[in-house]
Amino acid sequence: MFGKIPTKTPEKPTVKIPLGDGLYALINAEDYELIEPYEWYAHQHHCSTYAAARAKIRGRWRTLRMHRLIAHTPPRMITHHLNHNTLDNRRENLLNLTSKEHTKYHTDNKIRVKFEKNTTIGEGGGRVEGEPATVKNTRDLS
């Protein structure tokens, strides 16, 4: 079922898993036994926060990511959060994709800002000169 968006199912009972600093991860109650043995914390990766735990696997300490554990994500695949909330680890929100599928999923649905020539970006990301930016869907950019 890789690469296919699951059909919507009725709401299932959910559990909030505390991660510290007032953050929590959301999971289906049926997955509690799977994640219960670990001590979960909020892990910052790039611009997103994920639920993670440390575990000794085959004699080495590894970082487990809750979404990959719940989605049974195979190596070299990516777990995509359909609602883009990286702490929402309910099964109906997780989708295993190849890197190529994941890139296509994001580029087909992203809106980017295209600046005119001679436009520069100032500190804090503000525009300094040039015409107003035009917003176009990535499919329109060449």
Per-residue pLDDT tens for 18-33? Answer: 999 999 999 999 999 9
Q: Which is it for strands 111-114 and 23-28: parallel, antiparallel or unpaired?
A: unpaired
Q: Where are the domains of the chain?
A: 14-105, 113-140
Do 128 and 122 form a contact (C-beta atoms < 8 A)? Answer: yes
pLDDT at 102: 85
**Which pLDDT tens digit goes with each residue over 113-137?**
444 444 444 444 444 444 444 444 4
Fold classification of 14-105 is: Homing Intron 3 (I-Ppo) Encoded Endonuclease; Chain A (3.90.75)
Q: 58: which 2 tokens? A: 């085959």
pLDDT of residue 70: 97
Beta bridge partner(s), residue 137: 111
pLDDT of residue 80: 93
The answer, yes or no, to whether residue 100 has pLDDT greater than 50, is: yes
* Residue among 25, 92, 28 nearest 64 (CA): 25
Q: Which amino acid is at 89?
A: N
